[in-house]
Chain A
Amino acid sequence: MNHEDIKNGVIDILVDLTGSDDVRDNLDINLFDTGLLDSMGTVQLLLELQSQFGIDVPVSEFERDEWATPNKIIAKVESM
């Protein structure tokens, strides 16, 4: 899977979860500080990443700061 596919896939998930196009518009937006993602939203994000990319993020390893923006999430998915 190339960078563009991963990027678009992650953004589509985020748009659906947050119900906001802001995440497409600004890839450095802080999802938690802006209230776009809460705890339950985060859970749904991890489940979606698992089902769409087959990557398994143990919830106990989830460090909020490392997943705070669309760009950070894209980088995480690429690294896994």
Chain B
Amino acid sequence: MVENIIHAIDTVATQSPDKIAYVYEGQAYTYAQLKQGSDRLANFFSQVLPAKAPIVVYGGQTFEMVQVFLGLSKSGHAYIPIDTHSPNERITQVQEVAQSPAVIAVEPLPIEVPDVQVVDQSLLTEAINGGNDNYDPALQVSGDDNYYIIFTSGTTGKPKGVQISHRNLLSYVNWNVDDFGLEEGVVAMSQPPYSFDLSVMDLYPTLVLGGTLMAIPKQITDNFKLLFETLPELGLNEWVSTPSFAEIALLDPNFDQEHYPKLTHFLFCGEELTNKTATALIDRFPNAAVYNTYGPTEATVAVTGMQITADVVAQYPRLPIGYAKPDTEVYVVNEENQRVAPDTEGELMIVGPSVSKGYLNNPDKTASAFFDADGKAGYRTGDLVTMAADGLVFYRGRTDFQVKLHGYRIELEDIDHNLASVSHVKQATTVPRYDKDHKVTQLIAYVVPAGGDFASDMDRTKAIKAELGQMIMEYMVPQRIVYRDALPLTANGKVDRKALIAEVNPNA
């Protein structure tokens, strides 16, 4: 049981300074470097940044990013990670909500951000190489202070910043470390970008266990030949990813226990783990345990989970998402907010110490999604589930128009709002296309065009996609645009998204 994440990581550094904490592009970094760098950065940050302010951090999957995260945590600042593969507009949108006084540019910023102090790489390097080591570990931090703030898609076209406190993160990390059978010194894959909270699943549990993070950045995952040359060389014990990424790996016939003899743990979150994928992994990795977990960013990465064994795949064609972690209560309510009987479909509610205090600078959205349950924090997930009498939970769908594409959480209304502000678009509604496992494979936008001089719909689509790509994340840009003179309406006069979903998925 860890009592303080930062202290636990520093303890590893004090006891085993030469242990490898992080490997990036063949370069290994020790716990001593992690501690010294983050201590010096903490001193530097507490001098130059306003106390307790949330700070935007821009960068990719590098050791320096992790040093900055820990440095900010030590100086009592929350970090807001933005990945280098984000559209430029993302920085502006996040900054509009966060009002961060400073941006830490671990990688050079692609745009100018007005009215903020930019801490660039040369300042960071100077602090890390020559700063003051005498960092006071009792500095300012309390359990309720924010540890990180991760932005997710919001229905009004503005992203929402989920505030995760030190206490929230501690609750998650302890569950992960205690219940998944991970051992000290675990070698874990670090593949999801840091702006995606799935990365928290590998980052902090691995570091408190004195393990090694093997960074696998996008330039490797994008090139399959390089990816499958790299992966077997890493000596991984633990695989953390979305199920989609494991599905790619399963296409390599050498992805098996023989070529990955040390791989003993698969941890999944972020989207549905299908029976087919789990079965294939259990088959190919007889020595590994496969864990399925579920949770919204608002409750810190994951709140339910279980090991998916051969018995479980045999028993459940659609896999369960597990049981609530020990310090957390989950229950199911109907539309009148009344608890339902076991095995009845309803909305999942989460109450416990890993539930966030709410969205940064957004009291309205916070009030509609979060609640107080006798002094404990509660969150209304918007996820439809059923729960068996013994507490086993099954995911069934969404109460609203949120979808998961390759593990990324997307509010369709968010795309619609942004599309509507693109030139020559009068109205837009986005719908998902599903495969036979009911997994989203594509987003299709129905657009009512407004003027514009285009030679063809193809040119129009190109222009719309280019403009939209400046505003929202690449994975949110619909693959296909269909033009209509008008969109179908419901009896209430709203756009009938369900009719369009049925049109796109005639066999669903």
Measured CB to CB, the residues of A under 8 A from B are 18-22, 25, 32, 35-36, 38-40, 42-44, 46, 58-64
Contacts and interface: CB of A to CB of B under 8 A. Distances in A.
B228 A40 contact: no
A22 B478 CA distance: 14
Contact of A20 (B254, B475, B479): B479
Q: Which 3 A-B pairs have the closest CB atoms?
A: A19-B480, A19-B479, A60-B228
What is the interface residue range for chain B against chain A? 20 to 34
A58 B248 CA distance: 11
B234 interface: no
A59 B406 CA distance: 18
A76 B221 CA distance: 22
Contact of A62 (B224, B245, B462): B224
B222 A32 contact: yes
A26 to B, nearest CB: 10
A44 B221 CA distance: 16
A66 B424 CA distance: 37
Given A19-B479, A35-B469, A35-B477, A43 B251 contact: yes
B388 to A, nearest CB: 32
B222 A39 contact: yes
B423 interface: no
B252 A22 contact: no
A21 B474 contact: no
A43 B479 contact: no
A79 B247 CA distance: 27
Interface string B103-139: 0000000000000000000000000000000000000
A18 B479 contact: yes
Contacts of B245: 39
A64 B248 contact: no
A63 B229 CA distance: 11
Contacts of A22: 458, 461-462
Contacts of A61: 225
Interface in B183-240: 221-225, 228-229
A35 B474 contact: yes
Contact of A60 (B224, B469, B480): B224
Given A42-B224, A64-B223, A59 B462 contact: no
B449 to A, nearest CB: 16
Contact of A40 (B244, B474, B480): B244
Contacts of A40: 244, 248, 406, 441
12 contacts: A19-B444, A19-B479, A20-B458, A20-B479, A21-B458, A22-B461, A40-B244, A58-B252, A59-B248, A59-B252, A60-B225, A62-B223
A12 to B, nearest CB: 14
Nearest to B482: A19
A63 B223 contact: yes
Contacts of B469: 35
Residue among B224, B245, B458, B474 having the largest count of chain A Cβ atoms under 10 Å = B224
A70 to B, nearest CB: 15
A60 B254 contact: yes
Contacts of A38: 222, 406, 474-475
B375 interface: no
A61 B229 CA distance: 9
Contacts of B253: 58
A15 to B, nearest CB: 10
Given A21-B458, A32-B222, 9 more contacts: A19-B480, A21-B461, A35-B477, A39-B245, A40-B244, A44-B441, A60-B254, A62-B223, A64-B225
Given A42-B224, A64-B224, A20 B248 contact: no
B222 A64 contact: yes
Contact of A59 (B222, B228, B244, B477): B228
Q: Which of A36, A42, A60 has the most CB of B within 10 A?
A: A60
Nearest to B475: A38
Given A40-B406, A59-B228, A20 B222 contact: no
B223 A43 contact: no
B442 interface: yes
Contacts of B224: 39, 42, 59-60, 62, 64
Interface in B445-500: 458, 461-462, 469, 474-475, 477-481
B397 to A, nearest CB: 21
Given A22-B462, A43-B248, A62 B474 contact: no
A35 B476 CA distance: 11
* Residue among B462, B477, B481 with the highest chain A CB neighbour number at 10 A: B462
Contacts of B225: 60-64
B225 to A, nearest CB: 5
A32 B462 CA distance: 15
A56 B32 CA distance: 47
B234 to A, nearest CB: 15
A39 B248 contact: yes
A32 B219 CA distance: 12
Contacts of B477: 35
Contacts of B229: 60
A19 B480 CA distance: 4
A62 B228 CA distance: 9
A47 B494 CA distance: 39
Contacts of A35: 469, 474, 477
